[in-house]
Structure 1
Amino acid sequence: MILDIVLSLVLAVPLSLSTFPHILQLQLCEYLLYRYRALVEDKGIAKALLFTKFRFPAKSIRNLMILGLTYLLTVSFFLLAFTYLESAVAICIALFLSYPVSKVFVLLGALITSPLSSLYRARYLFIANRQLKSSGVKIIAITGSYGKSSVKEYLHRILSAKYLTGKTRGNRNTEVGIAIEIGLQITRDMDYFIAEMGAYRRHDIEKLCKLYKPSIGIITGVGNQHVSLFGSRQELIKTKLELVDGVKHGSVYASLEWDGAVNAFSQYHKKIVTYGFGGEADVKVVFGEKAGRFKILHGAREEEYESKLLGMHSYLNLVPAIIVSRELGMSYHEVYEIVKAIEPITGKLSLHKVNKGMTVLNDSYNSNVDGFCSAIDVLDCLNSGKKYISTLGIFELGNEKYGSYKRIVKALEGKNILLLTTDADFFGESASTQVRIFKQESEILKFLNGINEEKVLLVEGRHSPAFMTELGISKAY
């Protein structure tokens, strides 16, 4: 019996340590099991659960508790096997099954620690509510499938020149994430707080609006990111539009540059200020003859700006930041000078000259179909060297993955660009000679390092820290 206990304690150690990447996956899915399920469905059970690249999760109390519970459950599994299985064959089968079973124990650990998460949530929501009641701060809420972070950063940069302004940092766009930022930042004399609002299920935005009561809303655009979590694109659109009803006494500014926008906004009686490149928008963006110059036409008002940003969607993300800043009392000259000075955000079409004769167009912060196609256009306009794209694919697209990849491959047509990817679905949608499939991310690096001439690489979407380090670029997330 003592030998069984010792063996169980020893064997459980490496198996528990092997669950680190799975704990990280849960952490990135914010411990939401429906998001984790979508990730497994997207990657496939074998790749998601059995053959995941080893990476360490964050050092948090919940992760340590999940690891500890996984260890105890794995020890119990071995003890039961050694106690009740008599034949050597049965014990060998149990040992073989212990690896996938330990991954299931990670999920059990997440469920068991859920009450702790609820207490954590209640504490931060209480602090945030107290801070909001004691200050006169106005909340500016931003939601959308893409562009949220960029608009947030641009708007914060402009407003901060005149007003005391806070913002949610990083990817803190859930109810707890926003609450933490409010608790840390809001003071009695703060004027505005910009809250990026994310959603993974219907009514998520509605819930956030009830908690934080925004005075101004911005909807950046609705694509097919996370569509597999909502069941359909229509449900995703309805969720993002919950912000329109969530802003009770103020304006909502919304992009028209996404499919179905005109019909979606027509059903609301509340005044929505729309912006875009098309004629139906209330605020129109017109590009000037010189690169980097554009005009904003808003009623009788016509204002010209210049910017260092790359890509049409980058300019589109500047527009709501400019409109809102002007509506909140900033002068044209104040806004113009700040917009002119704004540099590209690292990881959002930022250019980097690195070693080995390579220029990197870094769009690794996130990836969506519209942004991907816009980045291809920017890459095509660059004048130096051979051109390549590295992507690991776009996740949580559900049944819209086929059409999305087909659109991306079509955007490559007529351009001297080679797409390098580990997602075989790109090749499945097209027999294009402009797509090359690799088994691992490291093989993409090996291929690029073997090209001894000037080259430009678009890094589209998230890659591993090792990949970015090898390129000589710090990650953007």
Structure 2
Amino acid sequence: MNIESFYNLYKKANNCIIDSRKLQNNDIFFAFSGESYNAAEKAEEAIANGALAVIVEDITFSNPGRNIFYVESTLKFLQDLAIYHRSQLKIPIIGLTGSNGKTTTKEMISTVLSKKFYVQNTFGNLNNHIGVPLTILSIKPEHEIAVVEMGANHQKEIESLCKIAKPNIGYITNFGKAHLEGFGGFEGVIKGKSELYYYLKSYEQCILVNEADAIQLEKTKDYVNKISFGKSTSDFVYDVFAKEHFVGLIYQNEKLLSNLTGQYNFTNLSAAVSLGLHFKIEFKDIKEAIENYFPSNMRSQVQKKGDKTLVLDTYNANPSSMSASLDNFKEFEGSKTIIIGDMLELGNESEAEHQSIYEKASQLSFDQIITVGKEFKKVNHHDLAFENTSALIDYLKENPIITQNILLKASRGIALEQAIECL
């Protein structure tokens, strides 16, 4: 199947999908198969249900007369189609990666830019080798700018995603202790995330730099085409302020208060504001956009439940973000319980990192510490420790938490949000 000839068909489609259950009329279905199933078996059914075309990598299901097309690799064809589509686009694309805060920052940037532009952005966390091409293919002629989140858990992945998204502006939220197993340690994280910098420099594109981050400064010190925020010599200078549990910033004596908890979100907020100012959006409009943005994705989310305040941060966790969450939660007024779950993909460093976090939690003198997961259970010898969320829920049904504030923080695989109904 030739990409250029198929592109004419793609331009008539509404969406590109990889889940036949989500098929809507005039979509293109890319049939990705797994070890235990053959998605190509859904091809005829997809066409009958209104699909414009289906891409399969099992030649026995090929039927060009029904717009069911065989390719050697569904993934490669999806990526190649996205690359070709990107070459036709004339709009700026902002590429975003980092260890923590990618999705929150992406959403705030998109919210701010929407004050002036028709924006497309990564849906949810579709930020990998499949999600990025799907995001690129979702960009329509009417879009004026796009924000593409790029996730990675090993070397060369960001490099590959940059070849698909071809960002004109790039930002790395931070370099943290995430996916240590895949990256081969913290230095591997720095190297892997910096692949975004290598791409941008190679094509003389713009880099957004947080000047409070020593690694970002070092990696971009000799590069001219950049936007900076942070210090008095930066392009955009902000002061941090907080009200109750929420973080805000001050720009040229004007205050902006977000609905995000934690001073660790100050840099995420600063990045969004900086890009808004860079694209000539007035600060009053940026302020309105941010103050009307409410997190609803279990990331830095503050929720009132009866007489309790819940801090929900259960979508992702690594040693860097866990430590920042504990520091932030310590500042809450009133009695406090923390429920922290395992941090995944830490490899050989897992036990040491869980030990370090548990010791920190103990030193911060919370009223109650509860851990969930096998890794924390290895190091927690003094407080409540549960092997999984199901066991935690059974306990909470009989032993309700009485403190005023409760923090839930864990990697996504722990599914700690399932315990919310018991709090």
Quick check: TM above 0.5? Answer: yes
Name which of structure 1's ranges 252-261 and 415-424 shifts more when overlaid on structure 2: 252-261
Deviations 1:299-337 (A, max 9, x none): xx6653222221112222111111011101111111111
| In 1, Cα distance between equivalents of 2:351 and 2:263 | 25
Question: Which ranges in structure 1 are unaligned for 5 or more consecutive residues?
Answer: 1-26, 28-59, 70-115
Question: Which ranges in structure 2 are unaligned for 5 or more consecutive residues?
Answer: 1-17, 19-29, 39-69
- Where does residue 391 of structure 2 map in the other structure? 443
- Secondary structure of 1:288's counterpart equals strand
- Where does residue 419 of structure 1 map in the other structure? 369
Alignment of 1:126-137 (within 5 A): 126-137=80-91
| In 1, Cα distance between equivalents of 2:419 and 2:375 | 26
- Where does residue 317 of structure 2 map in the other structure? 367
Match 2:257 to one of 284, 288, 306: 306
Asked if 1:387 is matched to 2:336, the reply is yes
Name which of structure 1's ranges 318-327 and 207-216 shifts more when overlaid on structure 2: 207-216
Deviation at 1:118, TM superposition (A): 6.3
Contact 1:227/1:233 (8 A) holds in 2: yes
Letter in 2 for 1:150: T
Asked if 1:179 is matched to 2:133, the reply is yes
| In 1, Cα distance between equivalents of 2:253 and 2:199 | 30
- Where does residue 105 of structure 1 map in the other structure? none
Match 1:471 to one of 393, 416, 420: 420
- Secondary structure of 2:209's counterpart equals strand
| In 2, Cα distance between equivalents of 1:403 and 1:256 | 30
Deviations 1:242-287 (A, max 9, x none): 2112122332113456674544444x534444445x7897655422
Using the size of structure 2 for normalisation, the TM-score is 0.74
- Where does residue 215 of structure 1 map in the other structure? 168
Count of residue pairs brought into register by the alignment? 358
Distance change >3 Å, CA 317–CA 388, structure 1 → 2? same
Match 1:457 to one of 376, 393, 406: 406
Match 1:399 to one of 343, 348, 372: 348
- Where does residue 92 of structure 2 map in the other structure? 138
Deviation at 1:158, TM superposition (A): 0.9
| In 2, Cα distance between equivalents of 1:398 and 1:119 | 31
Using the size of structure 1 for normalisation, the TM-score is 0.66
Asked if 1:148 is matched to 2:102, the reply is yes
Contact 1:390/1:444 (8 A) holds in 2: no
Contact 1:307/1:340 (8 A) holds in 2: yes
Letter in 2 for 1:196: E
Distance change >3 Å, CA 280–CA 199, structure 1 → 2? farther
Specify the structure having the higher radius of gyration (Cα): 1
- Secondary structure of 1:308's counterpart equals strand
Deviation at 1:399, TM superposition (A): 3.4
Distance change >3 Å, CA 293–CA 125, structure 1 → 2? closer
Letter in 1 for 2:173: T
Distance change >3 Å, CA 254–CA 428, structure 1 → 2? farther
- Secondary structure of 1:395's counterpart equals coil
- Where does residue 198 of structure 1 map in the other structure? 151
Deviation at 1:233, TM superposition (A): 1.7
- Where does residue 339 of structure 1 map in the other structure? 290
- Secondary structure of 2:177's counterpart equals coil
Asked if 1:66 is matched to 2:19, the reply is no
Distance change >3 Å, CA 165–CA 123, structure 1 → 2? same
Contact 2:341/2:376 (8 A) holds in 1: no
| In 2, Cα distance between equivalents of 1:304 and 1:193 | 27
List structure 1 runs of 4+ shifted beyond 6 angstroms. 278-282
- Where does residue 239 of structure 1 map in the other structure? 192
Distance change >3 Å, CA 377–CA 332, structure 1 → 2? same
